[in-house]
Structure 1
């Protein structure tokens, strides 16, 4: 059942077995998993079914660190969350990502990749992906295009699967609305977490118009995103100075994003080389995939390198096929055009319009090239840029913290101090050098690494992936939540989403977010009583 809190008539508290704040991929997957186990869920979402500017404005905050990032426009505060504009690229974290790695301070999850493997398999269908298989050798016989003849001991091929992308608001609206064990409230903003000595007693929610709702449950889960999860805990400081779970000043710290950059160039000796396996979405058995280059794990360990997958972006002889016009302005322009093509009002129209106007010259180039491509030949692939969302090392100084400015509920807004260590880019530089050595050894050409020494941090842009801030560790001195995502100092409060990641890896985070939600559902099913079939422990309206 889906209810708009603005129209809810009862003033009685709502009760349920599990209260989940946030109806993005983490919250929706968790609610459906719990309901499938016979557990009643109260799911609450700040926004409505679509974009609303006044609700979206609750995300606004300051950027005080690296300026090539963003706080509000990269997230969507609505049912389905940021899946409303994600690109759909998916891969699991690698086994090495969970290890405590020499040369990567603060690394090491309390769980391993094998602990998550069964949940990755369960997460695949939520994102409308193929089978849980990311081994290149398993897929290679089905590809029409050839792989580069590189020594696998030097460089391997990495497989990512491509979601349609799944829009959770479209795909899971009806399953949530029709599930008798889920009651979902829209326009319900979390405004307080009330504690007993060591547990949550209840949570308070409110609409922007002031209609309030109290929810009582046995277990509470916050699934509001990497920045908002930390903001919620920090603002709930009436009973615990410094905020809930912040006894060791860790909430908001270790903020990570992926280092999004297109830097480094492969110069090929043979200009007739076939790069289609790497430059296009390829299909096998109905599964859409992208293939990139990755160093073997033993080399990453030996060289003490961060993780990275480098995708090839061909630079063709005919510049009509160059995509160098694809910046923020082009992304905004594309969003407007796609929305109007579907008869919809574009999300964030004013913001996207301004971005497009500021970048009008390059947009004109992009439009011209798209019009001309059906009538032109690509010509030779003279080179290929290396595009990546490289791993950022966990850094306690990279953080989210509260500022004095407040939102309509009186909650303090945040400042994002995203700090990239120069060593992160030097790790990427060394990765490109090793890829270049493999390409040279195969007689295919050479690599211009592009990253200077010392590095220019301005070449890195946000991957729009908010990671860390309530990190996982078995030791409360080094993490906010334990291996089961429970806040160390509160026995019935859990965090969900990428805020619990201990390290970022290089894989896009959505698949791991959903896998962790499925794992959390299994954990909660073992501690939350299951009601009789068809019964609901949530209050009547």
Structure 2
């Protein structure tokens, strides 16, 4: 079928990117009657293909990307102290990375905005109360299931839209050990339906949430792309934006995009919103350099691409002499924020009478702990890789499967200027543009925080009687990024030290806004998507005020 990818003749707003931020901005502005065009670099995926994608994903011998990532289109460099595997966990396409995300949606704490973790995190130019109503709107938009049982969560004005999911069986195993140590467990807010909501059915337990939800119970941004289209928005797929053009007054006049046959088009609009994520947004701004903006668009501060931040994974696990029912649930149902605002508090290990405290008084990142519902090999993986058949295979599965248990957690990086997204002019993509170069390093605080997180986790596992066989941290290895790209167009009130203002508009370009985790000033240690959604809705309101 021939797809029309020519520019819309009239547009109030042009949005670059159809992930959660772009989709929410498009849905809100189109619903308000504005003419909206969305330009997305990746394809439009057919929902009917999801069962086949699920089957491909669970085969251990499959090395094919379920969502088509890789190749010249997605090339990148990673020249920093730490290698950054960018394509492991991103999606280009309608829906963006929410097509394969885990679906955990927590609000940042007030201390994240205040910069008051007793460390080197600066304050944001907005506070928690500024985002509080947008957080509530975002939870309704995504359909968040949750319970108000978290004593460490920030204040809220009402219940979650949907009831939370009950604790898993393995959560119940953790509960007694945590109680002995004085560690609080509580539920996890999830962007997946615990009951029918917004035209989508409840979770039916496929367990393949990452990388694909075949039922659609887990939210993905194609939901709001479809809402935007129903309200009249034009959404073009497979049209990567090559650069932004500006007029003599320094305002953006057009987004220049390429169609699959290589033809370039210009989409004009009154307002432009960048929502392509924390790597592609700074890359596009740097690619849009001109005589008027020799260092890249919106980059008078020199900070476009700077302060790239991530969350690092900490974990520990092993086996226990009883069934754990791991891999029965594809998402997390219990976690612990007790060590978020106070990561240095002591843990009393009853098993050996030891008090576990940080190794030094040096600052730590907030710590978020998770009780994993997936540890050890899955029965599908064991069966497909086995050399046995029939009853012999069944007996082997019974012996090998079901005793694994594990914890995980996130710690955030402080903003470091040397961590950045730059252009690698020695390597080009399929349109001849320099690819993004990720220059990434950790720093001492990250390593201390990872070590602290794994110490707490091992205390809990020891109390539970787990034979610990692995740890993921600075000493045990196995740690890596959570693929939460933050900070590369940071928000601030001072144009000399930031890229966008508190209304998400760039300081340098009056009709250019950014809706993304790229505007984060600090990383915190919470999964960022709910904050991305809240900021996107805030951005949409400010754009609407100017139209």
Q: Is the 8 A contact 2:111 2:117 kept in 1?
A: no
Residue of structure 1 equivalent to 2:228: 176
2:392 corresponds to 1:392:
no
2:12 corresponds to 1:17:
yes
Q: Secondary structure at the match of 1:387?
A: strand
Structure 2 gap ranges (5+)? 46-65, 153-158, 193-212, 346-360
**In 1, distance between residues paired with 2:183 and 2:138?**
28
**In 2, distance between residues paired with 1:367 and 1:305?**
49
Q: Secondary structure at the match of 1:262?
A: strand
Say if 1:140 and 1:190 are closer, same or farther in 2 by CA, change over 3 A: closer
Cα deviation 1:250-293 (Å, max 9, x = unaligned)? 11111122212423x6999xx78x988x99759xxxxx862122
Q: Is the 8 A contact 1:256 1:392 kept in 2?
A: yes
Q: TM-score, normalised by structure 2?
A: 0.73
Q: Matches of residues 338-487 of structure 1 in structure 2 within 5 Å? A: 364=385, 375=398, 385-404=406-425, 405-433=427-455, 455-456=474-475, 458-487=477-506
Q: Is the 8 A contact 1:42 1:184 kept in 2?
A: yes
Q: Is the 8 A contact 2:286 2:304 kept in 1?
A: yes
Say if 1:68 and 1:179 are closer, same or farther in 2 by CA, change over 3 A: same
Say if 1:475 and 1:300 are closer, same or farther in 2 by CA, change over 3 A: farther
Quote the offset at 1:517 in angstroms.
1.0
**Cα RMSD for the two superposed structures:** 4.2
Quote the offset at 1:449 in angstroms.
12
Residue from 167, 178, 187 that aligns with 1:159:
187
Say if 1:292 and 1:79 are closer, same or farther in 2 by CA, change over 3 A: same
**In 2, distance between residues paired with 1:53 and 1:417?**
25
Quote the offset at 1:222 in angstroms.
0.7
Q: Is the 8 A contact 1:403 1:413 kept in 2?
A: yes
Q: Matches of residues 251-262 of structure 1 in structure 2 within 5 Å? A: 251-262=304-315
Decide which moves more: 485-494 or 115-124: 115-124
Residue of structure 1 equivalent to 2:508: 489
Q: Secondary structure at the match of 2:255?
A: strand
Quote the offset at 1:297 in angstroms.
5.0
Q: Is the 8 A contact 2:315 2:472 kept in 1?
A: no
Cα deviation 1:185-228 (Å, max 9, x = unaligned)? 22222122112333212222221423332222221101111110
Q: Is the 8 A contact 1:91 1:511 kept in 2?
A: yes
Residue of structure 1 equivalent to 2:63: none
Say if 1:505 and 1:266 are closer, same or farther in 2 by CA, change over 3 A: farther
**RCO higher in 1 or 2 (8 Å CA, sep ≥ 6)?**
1
Cα deviation 1:61-92 (Å, max 9, x = unaligned)? 11223555322342222111122222222222
Q: TM-score, normalised by structure 1?
A: 0.73
2:84 corresponds to 1:32:
no
Residue of structure 2 equivalent to 1:98: 113
**In 2, distance between residues paired with 1:498 and 1:79?**
18
Residue from 108, 111, 117 that aligns with 2:123:
108
Residue of structure 1 equivalent to 2:252: 200
**In 2, distance between residues paired with 1:523 and 1:159?**
34
Say if 1:217 and 1:460 are closer, same or farther in 2 by CA, change over 3 A: same
Q: Is the 8 A contact 1:157 1:291 kept in 2?
A: yes
Structure 1 gap ranges (5+)? 283-287, 315-321, 335-360, 529-541
Residue of structure 1 equivalent to 2:358: none
**In 1, distance between residues paired with 2:411 and 2:270?**
40
Say if 1:380 and 1:88 are closer, same or farther in 2 by CA, change over 3 A: closer
Residue of structure 2 equivalent to 1:317: none
